[in-house]
Amino acid sequence: MKKLKMYINGKWEDPSSGEFRDIINPANGEIIAKAAEGDISDAKKAIAIAREAFDSGIWSDLLAVERAAFLYAIADKLEKRAGEISYLETLDNGKPLHETQFDVADAVACFRYYAGMVTKPDGVTYQVPDPMQAMVVREPVGVCGLIVPWNYPLLMSVWKIAPALAAGNTVVFKPSEVTPVTAQCLFEIIEEVGIPAGVINMVMGAGKTVGNEIAESLDVDKVSFTGGTATGRHIMKAATGNIKKISLELGGKSPNIIFADADFEAAIDYALFGIYSGAGQVCSAGSRLLLEESIHDQFIEELVKRAQKIKVGPGHDDETEMGPLVSKGHMEKVLSYIEIGKQEGAKLVCGGSQIMEDGMGAGYFVEPTIFINTTPDMRIVREEIFGPVLVVQKFKDEEEAVRLANDTDYGLAAGVFSQDGAKALRVIKKIRAGITWINCYHPTYNEAPWGGYKQSGIGRGLGTFGYEEFTEVKQININL
């Protein structure tokens, strides 16, 4: 059984507790690895090492081309191991191989994107009275604590690690305790390319211990977190001790609005893709489908037919379109929301159960599920379920569509489908969300900022915005 260790100061380390956690394949409940169960003392050690590495300038003082070369080298090695890593990601997280192959390719592209950015800084000078010269430079923040969830184990890690390293920071990284397998591969690569010891460290373990220590430590200058909104709130509080810089990428309950004049086929395809890719365990999932009244019944009839045909199965099977949920605990949470929906009086028109046939009962498979006849106050409409559960809302006109779409504490993503381009743009501009799509759902680019309004987070990942989150801004005023 593979033992996953922590990576601190350039060395692979056992946890000081001596404990290892079982890592489970969600397709069949079998143990696939044992992961180091780090604790607070391990986190403290990694933070001290990262602090020392940052203060020594061993990373930030490198020439930009030198840092870029390391990032390009990581991308190349990740690409060479793409087949193996996507296989392992599917084993650990459960999502179909075609999805994890896409995630690994995206991770490679993300490293290359930020490698390119290292050598292209731009700056600002201001016209101030002679003989003064005023300019602005960007510098690394310092020690960055990076904490990620289980839904895109590798990709979420890379979205943070690549820009943090590009900007010259040192890192303490914590993968999700549920899915640490591919982080191990990434750190093997980091070791192979020869990033100096101490610059990037990985501590595995629970959020309440390791994660909390990273958020609280006075030696961590910034925490960049992706995960649930409740955890984000906790991290914000924990980070107050040294007024840490924080970036939070949190949950969502995103509306996908379909007008009667939408391309019907495309809207059906994207409605399905919006909720069932990643088995709905996607922060930006289009989990609330808003349908214009006049097409509601016809749309639901077709949607249900198509949802029932989705091939659910183990992620390594070629025909599988949707995999299992990530863990037993998470499956139980999703099933409990389905019960809540029924009790609240919503009408279940598709799915609703765990799949037990063909030996799938040993895994955590849940049917693609659809509720109609919902009201805006229902918990299934308001709360993030994070599973293959679509809730449908009906609207009469543009004004009601916008009002329902914005009637949420979240503000991560939104979609609008209409063949009237002016209307689609008008509506999307009124939606309070950071990531929006017109006549499509889910395309994501390394170049474009990722993040949410309201309780979906603070700050932006990816693009130049994501890079800047890992920098401090300094003005330099020179008396010539």
Binding interface with ligand NAD (CB under 6 A): 147-151, 156, 174, 176-177, 206-208, 211-212, 215, 226-228, 231, 234-235, 249-252, 283, 384, 386, 412, 450, 452, 457
Instruction: Give ∠ CA 196-201-206 in degrees, rounded to 5.
Output: 175
**Nearest residue (CB) to ligand NAD, 234 versus 394:** 234
What is the distance between the alpha carbons of residues 463 and 444, in angstroms, rounded to a whole number?
Answer: 11
What is the distance between the alpha carbons of residues 280 and 350, in angstroms, rounded to a whole number?
Answer: 15
**Nearest residue (CB) to ligand NAD, 198 versus 280:** 280
Of the candidates 191, 26, 207, the one whose C-alpha atom is nearest the C-alpha of residue 100 is 26
Smallest distance, Å, CB 211 to ligand NAD? 2
**Nearest residue (CB) to ligand NAD, 211 versus 363:** 211
Report which residue type is found at 299.
Answer: F
Q: Which pair of structure tokens corresponds to residue 304?
A: 């249900």
**Nearest residue (CB) to ligand NAD, 292 versus 384:** 384
Smallest distance, Å, CB 453 to ligand NAD? 11
Report which residue type is found at 410.
Answer: Y
Smallest distance, Å, CB 265 to ligand NAD? 29
Smallest distance, Å, CB 410 to ligand NAD? 9
Which contacts of 439-442 are long-range, i.e. CB under 8 A and separated by 24 or more positions?
A: 439/262, 439/263, 439/266, 439/270, 440/270, 440/415, 441/256, 441/270, 441/271, 441/273, 441/274, 441/286, 441/415, 442/270, 442/273, 442/274, 442/277, 442/282, 442/284
Residues in Cβ contact with 51 at an 8 Å cutoff, skipping those fewer than 6 apart: 143, 170, 219
**Nearest residue (CB) to ligand NAD, 60 versus 456:** 456
Smallest distance, Å, CB 68 to ligand NAD? 26
Is 249 marked active-site? yes
Considering the candidates 249, 292, 384, 469, report the single residue annotated as catalytic: 249
Active site residues: 249
